[in-house]
Amino acid sequence: MRGVLVVLLVLAALLGWLQYRLWHGVGGTGQVEELRARVEAQARQNEGLQQRNDALAAEVADLKSGEAAIEERARGELGMIKPGETFYRVVDDARLAPLPAEHAVDPGAGARDGDAP
């Protein structure tokens, strides 16, 4: 009977040690969850980068395939125009802030009596 009790104590101690290693040891559940979260974050980052790469690849293919994309970029980014065209810039009034009163231009202030026009 005494031998069975010793075996049970040894097995209980072994079970306790294995449970400790499972929950808190190297490669335990805490580390697994941390690695799982890191893998998920990296997968999200990779997905965003893949979308960016796909967009760049499509743009490169556009630029290689014809002049339409090059012309579009030249017009949009550089403001270039073709010969014979007239360039008009439309300014949105909502984005322009009114000048303060001290900086306002007075149309009659420039011409005074005796000043040359």
Residue 68 carries which side chain, given as an amino acid letter? Answer: A
pLDDT for residue 34 is more than 80: yes
∠ CA(88), CA(100), CA(106), 5° rounding?
75
Q: Determine the distance from the C-alpha atom of residue 59 to the mean position of all C-alpha atoms in its chain, rounded to a whole number.
A: 18
Q: What is the pTM of this model?
A: 0.41
Q: pLDDT digits over 100-115, tens only?
A: 566 555 555 554 555 5
The better pLDDT of the pair 46, 80 is held by: 46
Domains of the chain: which residue ranges?
28-98
